Amino acid sequence: MKDLKKQASVIFEQLHKNYPDSQCSLSFQKPHELLISTILSAQCTDKRVNSITPALFKKYPTPQAFAEADIEELKNEIRSTGFFNNKAKAIKASMQSIVEKFDGVIPNTLDELTSLNGVGRKTANVVLGDAFGIPGIVVDTHVKRVSNLLGLTRNTDPEKIEQDLMLLFPPEQWTLLGHLMIDHGRAICIARHPKCHDCTLNDICPSAKTIER
């Protein structure tokens, strides 16, 4: 564990050097907007989400407005993000929970956020880290892939990966770590064709030589 923590430290420093401007790529001004944008980002690019949310948040400016939204109208507003039926249901349900359980105010604890209908740990950690500045590790497909290839975890379950990474990195790095791994996963450690020859971590990545063959 001690050696793995040292390697984790090197990985964080190198990724931070490679992506100095790494941050949440979803546009938002209020916590509930980030929560909704994160739900919309599933199986959709952040760029596409950002293209529709200004009009969406103008039409539905508060959690109450989303909670009271006509579900068919909401579906139509978010149709271009894909899987709009399930996303509309999740958005409406989560906002109804916020209105009913928390008086319309987005809670700022993991347990409270994950108690909302349609909100899992990934979405909750995005909101905690980027809306409230509370450390949390987001495990999406990029973080899952990158952390496994770098040998930081052997687990495939997102919650177990989250717990493994929490043991290796200090809390003050958790939120940024997710952004760094996501940026690296998009730019270099691509799912089907990782660019190991361009990766500055290939000298310490246990998967690099295997993938390059």
Q: Which of 78, 105, 131 is the last residue of a domain?
A: 131
**Rounded to two decimals, what is the model's pTM?**
0.92
Distances in Å between the alpha carbon of 142 and those of 63, 73, 129, 193?
30, 32, 17, 13
Q: Is residue 102 located within the same domain as residue 142?
A: no
Q: Do 35 and 127 sit in the same domain of this protein? A: yes
* 109 and 87 inside one domain: yes
Of 98, 131, 164, which residue sits at a domain end? 131
Specify whether 127 is located in the same domain as 38: yes
Residue 113 and residue 153 in one domain? no
Decide which of 102, 131, 160 is a domain's last residue. 131
- pLDDT higher than threshold 90 for residue 1: no
pLDDT tens for 6-22 read 999 999 999 999 999 99
pLDDT tens per residue, range 127-139: 999 999 999 999 9
Specify whether 140 is catalytic: yes
- Decide: 75 and 84 in contact? Cβ < 8 Å: yes
- Both 6 and 58 in one domain: the answer is no
Judged against a pLDDT cut of 60, whether residue 213 lies above it is answered with no
Which structural domain, as residue segments, surrounds residue 75?
A: 31-131
Q: Among residues 130, 140, 164, 183, which one is catalytic?
A: 140
- Which CATH number fits the domain that encloses residue 189? 1.10.1670.10
| Residue whose entry in the numeric block shows the structure tokens 């923590």 | 5
3 tagged catalytic: no
Q: What is the DSSP letter of 81?
A: G
Q: Does one domain contain both 108 and 178?
A: no
Residues 50-101: tens digit of each pLDDT: 999 999 999 999 999 999 999 999 999 999 999 999 999 999 999 999 999 9
Task: Considering the candidates 122, 130, 164, 183, report the single residue annotated as catalytic.
Answer: 122
Closest-CA residue to 30 (of 120, 115, 95)? 95
35: domain CATH number?
Answer: 1.10.340.30
